Amino acid sequence: DAGITQSPRHKVTETGTPVTLRCHQTENHRYMYWYRQDPGHGLRLIHYSYGVKDTDKGEVSDGYSVSRSKTEDFLLTLESATSSQTSVYFCAISLGTSGRGAGELFFGEGSRLTVL
């Protein structure tokens, strides 16, 4: 168990409203990621973080922002939600760059977001 908690697990919102998803980890891992999963697209990287206040864009970052003010929390924000952002969002952590588990991602249980 990698100690990842995502909240909320389910959310329904309206177009144009801001939404923040939270990923919390208990084991002080440095690397954290946000992916979205959509039918026909698999998992796509939105943003990632290599440490506090160190974030970068992934493959599908438009319309999303992230913040990492503490090692344990990685927040994903939709400034103005659109229907195309209806998806399941997964947070993931990496154990590091070397040693056992290097290169692997451990995922949270997901946050299902519906934008009406």
Site residues (CB under 8 A) for other proteins? 4, 31, 33, 35, 40-45, 48, 58-59, 90, 92, 94, 97-98, 102-110
**CA distance to 5, 28, 50, 61, 86, per residue, from 114 (Å):** 19, 30, 29, 18, 5
- Amino acid code (one letter) for 39: P
- CB of 81 within 8 A of CB of 18? yes
For other proteins, which is the closer residue by CB, 4 or 75?
4
Q: Tell me whether residue 25 or residue 94 sits nearer to other proteins (CB atom).
A: 94
Closest separation between CB of residue 111 and other proteins, Å? Answer: 10
How many other CB atoms are found less than 10 A from the CB of residue 82?
A: 11
Nearer to other proteins, 58 or 63 (CB): 58
